[in-house]
């Protein structure tokens, strides 16, 4: 079922600047099924090409509840929101789904889509990518500069990188 407010677009039509769109505006990573999903705010990642396919990639620490969902499911979604949803992004970036039920957050309506597997995205997003996990790898601490380790990895919670092949892209109709 596709949300009424979002239109499917091709990758070529995506005009978002991911440098600001990720680091400054943030996004939600979602994985799971309509009966059991979780999401977290993220700011690190990117869009690119791997093995001749358009992909999105993200970095998630093993301590996140969302990490379990990413490992258990074949699909994940990236959801970018308008500024008025900032409060929700702050909530999903500061509280864990282990402690609150993120499926009950007001102001987010989940949409289920079945492709190779089920994916969940949000009706209120203005840009959505449904991705198939095609690769993951844990960041190897021996290859990280000491200055970065000191700044980001004092608890040795090294991110896992997930690369997702983009299966679908939805954008809010601007009219």
Which residues form the interface with ligand FMN (CB under 6 A)?
26, 38, 40-44, 59-61, 64-66, 93-98, 159
Closer of 19 and 51 to ligand FMN (Cβ): 19
Cα–Cα dist 87/99, whole Å: 18
Closer of 2 and 148 to ligand FMN (Cβ): 148
Closer of 24 and 147 to ligand FMN (Cβ): 24
Residue 105 neighbours by CB distance under 10 Å: 16
Q: In whole angstroms, how close is the CB of 17 to ligand FMN at the nearest point? A: 17
Residue 159 neighbours by CB distance under 10 Å: 19
Residue nearest to ligand FMN (CB): 93
Q: In whole angstroms, how close is the CB of 147 to ligand FMN at the nearest point? A: 19
- Which residues are paired to 10 by β-bridges? none
Cα–Cα dist 86/99, whole Å: 20
**Listed residue (72, 76, 46, 73) closest to 59, CA to CA:** 46
Closer of 44 and 153 to ligand FMN (Cβ): 44
Q: Name all contacts of 105-114 with Cβ < 8 Å and 24+ positions apart.
A: 109/3, 110/30, 110/34, 110/37, 111/1, 111/2, 111/3, 112/1, 112/33, 112/34, 113/1, 113/2, 113/168
Q: In whole angstroms, how close is the CB of 160 to ligand FMN at the nearest point? A: 9
Closer of 54 and 97 to ligand FMN (Cβ): 97
Q: In whole angstroms, how close is the CB of 173 to ligand FMN at the nearest point? A: 27
Q: In whole angstroms, how close is the CB of 112 to ligand FMN at the nearest point? A: 19
């Amino acid at each position: 079922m596709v949300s009424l407010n979002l239109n499917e677009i091709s990758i070529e039509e995506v005009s978002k600047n991911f440098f600001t769109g990720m680091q400054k505006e943030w996004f939600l990573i979602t994985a799971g099924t309509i009966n059991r999903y979780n999401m977290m705010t993220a700011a690190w990642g990117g869009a690119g090409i791997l093995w001749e396919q358009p992909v999105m990639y993200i970095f998630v620490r093993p301590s996140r509840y969302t990490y379990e969902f990413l490992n258990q499911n074949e699909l994940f979604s990236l959801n970018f929101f308008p500024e008025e949803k900032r409060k929700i992004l702050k909530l999903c970036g500061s509280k864990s789904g282990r402690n609150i039920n993120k499926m009950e957050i007001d102001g987010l309506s989940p949409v289920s889509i079945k492709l190779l597997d089920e994916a969940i995205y949000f009706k209120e997003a203005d840009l959505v990518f449904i991705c198939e996990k095609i690769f993951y790898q844990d960041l190897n601490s021996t290859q990280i500069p000491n200055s970065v380790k000191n700044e980001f990895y004092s608890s040795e919670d090294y991110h896992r990188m997930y690369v997702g092949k983009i299966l679908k892209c939805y954008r809010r109709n601007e009219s």
